[in-house]
């Protein structure tokens, strides 16, 4: 065997071992995190059970937690302040009632759960600290599922919550669809499942500008493409900007073109900085027809078109688009985070 072959073989071996150790390290970190969350849940349970034995619960709990905190910090170091113990207590109270825990999980002992792959807590403690702040159980379950399925960091979780993702999806669904959100998260089956209204583009920084053009909006989106793809949602891949369509001797340009691998279709987006007009919907219909006729393959599904506008008249949209429409959508966008209270009110009125 030549020196080059030996070097190549050693390099391959090093690469495989490096990958193995990296995967093992990630597994260990994940296992430790899951064990820690389960341990905090159990600490919360012990605190609640001990607290319930006291006759004067409020004073008993307060004094007990203070003493417990001091002793745990002395024995195990930081991480067991009164505030942290209160959060563990709340974690137990919230999740002991939650359907996230199966009946078996609720009845099994800590040691058994700790060594089982069915550990009900799949996220980090930092994620659960955010989740226990959400009072609505269906909303909390939705964010828990989505954070796990999409690998959201705590920062991304907070951004999705602050942008009222749950409320925005609820507004576009019927009762069965809302129930599905809390049981399965966001499932993309038909075109309308992939569309939001409104889209929140706070990450573009355009709220700082008094005026901006459609070209400015498009450029800002391209510059923050990763953020925009996250806002679009599941399965979106970027294809290009200003994609030319030629009809005989006339050229037209689609602002943004994406592909959704879950729906297996192209998604065309046209940007409008002002009020939506019926001509905008007609133009998008032409773009969609062109893609269906000349671009998509026989194996792909029908193209979707989204007109993203600053202002929208629902009646105009309903009158302009056919009743059986499944391809053309008009959605508002906003450059500031929405008011959660306003959206919650809309959800309540919808129900």
pLDDT in tens, 294-304: 999 999 999 99
Model pLDDT, residue 8: 56
Pair type for strands 250-260 and 236-247: antiparallel
Pick from 241, 199, 243: nearest CA to 223: 241
Model pLDDT, residue 6: 47
> 141 with 99: CB under 8 angstroms?
yes
Model pLDDT, residue 210: 67
Beta sheet of 328-334, edge-to-edge order: 199-200, 328-334, 304-311, 265-275, 250-260, 236-247
Model pLDDT, residue 27: 64
Pair type for strands 265-275 and 304-311: parallel
Model pLDDT, residue 22: 78
Pick from 181, 112, 200: nearest CA to 143: 181
Residue with tokens 């027809």: 289
Pick from 52, 113, 54, 46: nearest CA to 80: 46
The span from the CA of 73 to the CA of 81, in Å, is 7
Which residue numbers in the chain have pLDDT < 50? 6, 55-56
Model pLDDT, residue 99: 58
How large is the angle between the packed helices 154-162 and 137-150, nearest 10 degrees?
140
User: Is 192-337 a domain of CATH 3.40.605.10?
Assistant: no
Distances (CA, A) of 225 to 192, 265, 298: 22, 19, 29
Burial group, residue 201, by CB count within 10 angstroms (0-12, 13-18, 19+): buried
């Amino acid at each position: 065997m030549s020196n080059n072959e030996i070097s190549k073989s050693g390099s391959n071996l090093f690469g495989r071992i490096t990958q193995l150790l990296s995967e093992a390290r990630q597994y260990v970190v994940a296992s430790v995190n899951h064990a820690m969350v389960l341990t905090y849940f159990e600490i919360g349970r012990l605190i609640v059970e001990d607290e319930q034995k006291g006759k004067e619960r409020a004073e008993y709990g307060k004094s007990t937690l203070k003493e417990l905190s001091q002793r745990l910090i002395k024995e195990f170091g930081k991480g067991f302040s009164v505030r942290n113990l209160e959060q563990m207590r709340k974690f137990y109270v919230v999740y002991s009632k939650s359907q996230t825990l199966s009946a078996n999980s609720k009845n099994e002992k800590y040691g058994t759960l700790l060594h089982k792959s069915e550990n009900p807590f799949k996220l980090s403690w930092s994620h659960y600290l955010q989740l226990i702040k959400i009072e609505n159980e269906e909303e909390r379950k939705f964010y828990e599922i989505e954070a796990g399925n999409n690998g959201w960091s705590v920062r991304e979780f907070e951004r999705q919550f602050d942008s009222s993702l749950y409320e925005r999806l609820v507004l576009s669904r019927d009762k069965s669809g809302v129930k599905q959100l809390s049981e399965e998260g966001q499932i993309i089956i038909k075109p309308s499942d992939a569309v939001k209204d409104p889209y929140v583009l706070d990450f573009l920084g355009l709220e700082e500008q008094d005026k901006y053009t459609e070209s400015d909006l498009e450029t800002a989106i391209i510059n923050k493409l990763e953020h925009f793809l996250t806002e679009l949602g599941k399965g979106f891949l970027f294809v290009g900007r200003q994609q030319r369509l030629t009809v005989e001797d006339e050229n037209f340009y689609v602002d943004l073109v994406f592909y959704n691998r879950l729906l297996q279709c192209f998604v065309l987006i046209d940007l409008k900085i002002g009020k939506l007009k019926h001509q905008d919907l007609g133009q998008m219909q032409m773009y969609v027809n062109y893609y269906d006729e000349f671009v998509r393959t026989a194996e792909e599904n029908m193209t979707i078109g989204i007109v993203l506008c600053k202002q929208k008249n629902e009646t105009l949209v309903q009158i302009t688009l056919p009743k059986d429409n499944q391809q053309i959508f008009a959605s508002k966008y906003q450059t500031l985070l929405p008011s959660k209270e306003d959206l919650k009110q809309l959800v309540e009125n919808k129900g």
